[in-house]
Amino acid sequence: MESLDMLANNIANTATAGFKSDREFYSLYQQELPMIQKQWTDFSQGTLQPTGNSLDLGLSGKGFFALNSPTGTVYTRNGQFQISKSNQLQTAEGFTLRNALDQGKPITVDPSLPVDVDKNGNVSQSGQQIAQIEITGSNDPAASLSKLGNSYFIWGAPGAMPADPSTQITQGAIEQSNVPVSDAAVRLVSVMRQFEMMRRAMTIGDDMNKEALQEVAKVS
C-alpha cells in the first residue's frame, strides 16, 4: 500500500514543474519477502522546457531557489514565479524569492518594466541590477532535505543551506518533473498485481485457519 501511494503520487505530479520523484529502498523480512525499509527522493535533474515567459526560471545544477515562507526559509526547484500585488517576485503560494544582496529580503520589481535574469541570478531592469536571486545547494540533498508538499523542501541540517554558485538559471524555461512516466506506470501495474496476490494468499490462509478450527472443534 505504501508503494501504491508513492507511485500514484509520482504519476499525479508528472506535470508539476521541478517535482522530484520518490523511490523505494527495500530490505527483506520473513521468508525473503520484500518490504519497504525507507522512502527516498530522487534529486536528479529534470529536462528544461522553454516557455517564453520571462518569469519562468529553470535551474541547471544541484541548487534550489531559496524562498521566504510564513514558517521560515523553504526551497524549491519549481521556477514558475509571478509578480505579487506588492510588486514582489513570488510563487503561486505567495512565497517570495530571497535577495542574496539584501539579507534574504523579498525581491521587489517595477511591474511596468521587463525583468531580466542572467545565468547567475542577477535581476535587472532597464539595464540596472536590482537584486540577485539566492540559490543554495548541497552535495547530498537527500541527507538533509525533506519534502514539504509536492514542490517545496525544508533544510534539516544545522545552520542555513550554503550558497551554490555553480547552479545556473535559464530565463524563460522551467524544469520538468523527473518522474520516469513509463517506468512508474509499469511499476504501478506490477505492485497492484503483487498486492492482489498477497491479498489472495491472506484470504486462503484465513480460510485454512477457520477450517482447522472447525475440525478441531468436532466431536468424534
SS (H, E, C) the chain: CHHHHHHHHHHHCCCCCCCCCEEEEEEEEHHHEEEEEEEEECCCCCCEEECCCCCEEEEECCCEEEEEECCEEEEECCCECEECCCCEEECCCCCEEEECCCCCCECECCCCCCCEECCCCEEEECCEEEEEECEECCCCHHHHEEEECCCEEEECCCCCCCECCCCEEEECEEECCCCCHHHHHHHHHHHHHHHHHHHHHHHHHHHHHHHHHHHHHCCC
- Indicate whether 14 pLDDT > 90: no
Residue 56 near residue 35 (C-beta atoms within 8 A): no
Do 78 and 91 meet the contact criterion of CB atoms below 8 Å apart? yes
Phi-psi region of 16 (alpha: psi -120 to 50; beta: other; left: phi over 0): beta
Neighbours of 165 (CB within 10 A): 12
**Residue in 44, 91, 43 with CA at minimum distance from that of residue 65:** 91
pTM of the model: 0.77
For 121-177, what is each residue's pLDDT tens digit? 999 999 999 999 999 999 888 889 999 988 999 999 888 899 999 999 999 999 999
Residue 161 Cα distances to 70, 74, 132, 134, angstroms: 18, 10, 17, 11
User: What mean pLDDT comes out for the span 21-50?
Assistant: 73
**Residue 72: pLDDT band with limits 50, 70, 90:** very high
Alpha-carbon distance of 32 to 26, in angstroms, equals: 11
Cα–Cα distance for residue pair 137/63, rounded to 1 Å: 4
Would the pLDDT of 81 be above 80?
Answer: yes
pLDDT band at 185; cut points 50, 70, 90: confident
pLDDT at 30 exceeding the cut of 60: no
pLDDT tens for 92-120 read 999 999 999 999 999 999 999 999 999 99
Q: Confidence class of residue 1 from pLDDT cuts 50, 70 and 90?
A: confident
Q: What is the pLDDT of residue 178?
A: 86
Cell numbers representing residue 129 in the block: 541590477
Residue labelled with grid coordinates 527495500: 26
